[in-house]
Structure 1
Amino acid sequence: LLLDSITFPKVVPSSNYAVVVLVTNKASIGDYGTDSIREDYIYFAKEGETNGKADSILFTQVIVNGAQNQKLSNQIGVPKGFQHPLLFIYPKNSKEAIPFPQYEKFNVATLTKFVSKYADFYYGIPGLVEPMTAIANKFARSDKETQEKLYREADKILTKVHDFEYKDSKYYIKVMKNILSDGIGYIQNELKRLDNIIESDKISDDKKRELARKRNIINQFHYDDDISTTHNEL
């Protein structure tokens, strides 16, 4: 859905939808970086609507063409003279735009993590189990007492997941257990460990895909200001 200064106020704020907005400078269209981001966003939006859980999400775009929509982009929070597209989300009933983390890589995994934090959204990438992901998104930001409750909740969910989700679900629980015992630093240490193995030439492609699933899972435990990448392509 393409928005402008006339249609935008009719959509934001919304009591029915969280509104995701990609703002693009028309002058940069044709640039590889800009086109790549736009293509990834369009793919993500279509896949989310078709194969994910996105009934309460509205995926939109704003194109800034010189003075046209410049005021609107400033209102959203886009800095003047921006080059590459910038992504924002307006949660339900909110007039405040939340920006996509500046240093986060732009891919299906990071977009899923960002949108699902502020809206009722789920899109299955390799390794992710919906009810476990919902718990993981809360876990790292919670205090120790709440983490222990979430851990017990996840353990109960384990008995209800499908057989094909069981192995991945067990890894969510393993991560929670290790965070409880070793602290939040476990996340970054485990990511580095997985990275080193995945990037080595000493394991098979099947093993790399297995470890990439684990990395996708552990990324769901990250704080907002963590900088991470996800090997979703494996």
Structure 2
Amino acid sequence: MRDDSDGNELVWDRPEPPTRPAPTALSRSRIVAAAIGLADADGMDAVSLRKVAAALDAGPMRLYGYVASKDELLDLMVDEVYGELPPPSEPSGEDWRAALRSIAHRLRDAAHRHEWFIDLLGGRPHVRGPNALAFLEESLAALDRTADFTDVADVMRAVRTFTAYVTGAIRAEVGEARAERATGLALAQWQRASVPYLRRMLATGRYPTVEKVITHDGEEPDADTTFEAGLGAVLDGIAHAFAR
């Protein structure tokens, strides 16, 4: 497949340079693994072709024979994480809800292993590699192969709705984890530290609904429960709006 916008071959279609064992053997897979290692350890700010080359003990210019730009490297990293997703534990058949639930939880698990991954989904234009295309195929087929969905346009709208919820919910979870690491405060501790300020603001009477929510006497659900509840609501909405 070629990128028809400029006539250049995409990275997945471009052959790698001949192997040179000295001074350091390189390959796209080694480059991507090193980049993922840097991102996992120190975030996306730690990823550049120069830093990846240093991690591999190679000259930066050698990497350009394998990846033409940082954008290509990011595409390869995203596709590698998609490739880590395990296959469904069992065929879902006509049960599209079970299929989408499986997809959502596998994507969530991958994003918690590689927090930078969720930042790259929807945050930048990117080309879907073979693993990302396989994930998209599974998502679309989960609905398209069932009798509940007979219009491909409805399938596309349903998958977009599902994906928007899953990526948004995961992004919120990852953001909370990052904030906790950055401040050293868990969410509950941060909320307690904010109590004096919130009391002053609520005393103005301008935020009655916020006050109602904050003062609600109930146990805060954990992240897993919250994610599953939201996912269930989205699947119900998809069934109501798009399924036959």
TM-score (norm 2): 0.29
Larger Rg: 2
Q: Greater RCO between the two (CA within 8 Å, min separation 6)?
A: 1
Richer in helix (by share): 2
Q: Greater strand share, 1 or 2?
A: 1
- Please report the TM-score for the alignment, with normalisation by the length of structure 1: 0.29
